[in-house]
Chain A
Amino acid sequence: MKLLTHNMLTSHVKGVTKGYPLLIKATEVKVNEVEFNPQFVSRMIPKLEWGALVQAAEELGHRQDLPGELVQEYEKNEDFLKKVHRVLLEVEVIEGCLQCPESGREFPISKGIPNMLLNEDEV
């Protein structure tokens, strides 16, 4: 699971009002080399919750020097885009779980894929 995907996930356990962002508890993390596509990164940034991305990167120990706030005019800033690229696409959680910040319910991540299915009593 890439952090880009994590940024889009919310817990909908019954009764939960603040199910975002999910906390990440990783037991296996991989860093792969992914071809840098500045246009892709640039277009994704406005669709992200920046704070959630930084928090997730921090939780995995992969934040490095990613800034806490978005830099101005990032479209032309290749250095910055490369930092975002690494965190969004190259860091992958292979095993672990995502935890609902309100209920504590854990959603497993197995073979790189998060399982967000709820049980009948949680819906």
Chain B
Amino acid sequence: MSTSYPTPLYSHAGRGDFQEVYEPAEDSFLLIDALEKDADRLQRMSPCVCLEVGSGSGVVSAFLASVVGPSALYICTDVNPAAAQCTAETASCNRVSLQPVITDLADSLLPQLCGKVDILLFNPPYVVTPSEEVLSKVNEVQAWCINPHSYSVGFIFQVGSTGIEAAWAGGERGREVTDRFLPAVVQLLSDKGLFYLITIAENDPEEIIHLLGQSGLKGESYLSTRARNERLSVLRFHRNQQT
């Protein structure tokens, strides 16, 4: 039985300067639970470089840092500048060192991080929404939502922005952002590297496992839960040659 690790402080997320930052929710906590479940393996691996794409509040990387310790580099990316600042604040509150970068996915970190990432984390925008392509033809005005986790027919949410909707609007099958990132996963992961990805049933996790399988990454559903109307899973991947 592993030691229990406390959830990092994050009450500043979603308030004041960080109002436009995704507040940790069931998806964030499921990813944290998955890392906790894998704590022994993560520690034994002794990772050197960790990357979280779309860090939002930074709570997940802060948690990872508390499990793995200060001998690793933690880089966190987000398209939302408020999220990057929030990640910095979360690092400070929790006395861990996280390096935020405002960038789309892992753009700008390649090619330097090619083959170097030992732990790769992504809690993507996974909610099924009309895709950007559909919207540009419809010419709708963006509406802002109260609760992104319960799909509501009256609102239109747009993929491709850098504000709060970027946190959850996933376009067709909720897969548009994830699919853009998958090729980078293959490049980023080190030989011993692990990739953890949050999905909901609508994203067709089996297909994601199949797609990455074709690129030599072995994947499985590592942890699942049901939250409100979402069936959430954490998929975990590693390179085929690893035992």
Residues of A within 8 A of B (CB): 1-2, 4-5, 7-12, 20, 34-35, 37, 39-40, 43-44, 47, 49, 110-118
Contact = CB atoms under 8 A, between A and B. Distances in A.
Contacts of A5: 75, 99, 101
Given A43-B71, A112-B88, A117-B79, A7 B103 contact: no
B100 to A, nearest CB: 5
15 contacts: A5-B101, A7-B112, A8-B75, A8-B112, A20-B112, A49-B112, A111-B88, A112-B88, A113-B102, A115-B81, A115-B103, A116-B101, A116-B103, A117-B104, A118-B107
Contacts of B88: 111-113
Contacts, number: 70
A113 B109 contact: no
Size band of the interface chain B makes with A? 20 to 34
Interface string B61-85: 0000000001111010001010011
A19 to B, nearest CB: 9
B3 to A, nearest CB: 21
A8 B45 CA distance: 22
Contact of A4 (B79, B99, B162): B99
A43 B100 contact: no
The majority secondary structure among interface residues of chain B is loop
Main secondary structure on chain A at its contact with chain B? Answer: loop
A105 to B, nearest CB: 12
A35 B71 CA distance: 11
Given A2-B99, A113-B88, A10 B71 contact: no
A71 B73 CA distance: 22
A37 B70 contact: yes
A43 B48 contact: yes
B73 A4 contact: yes
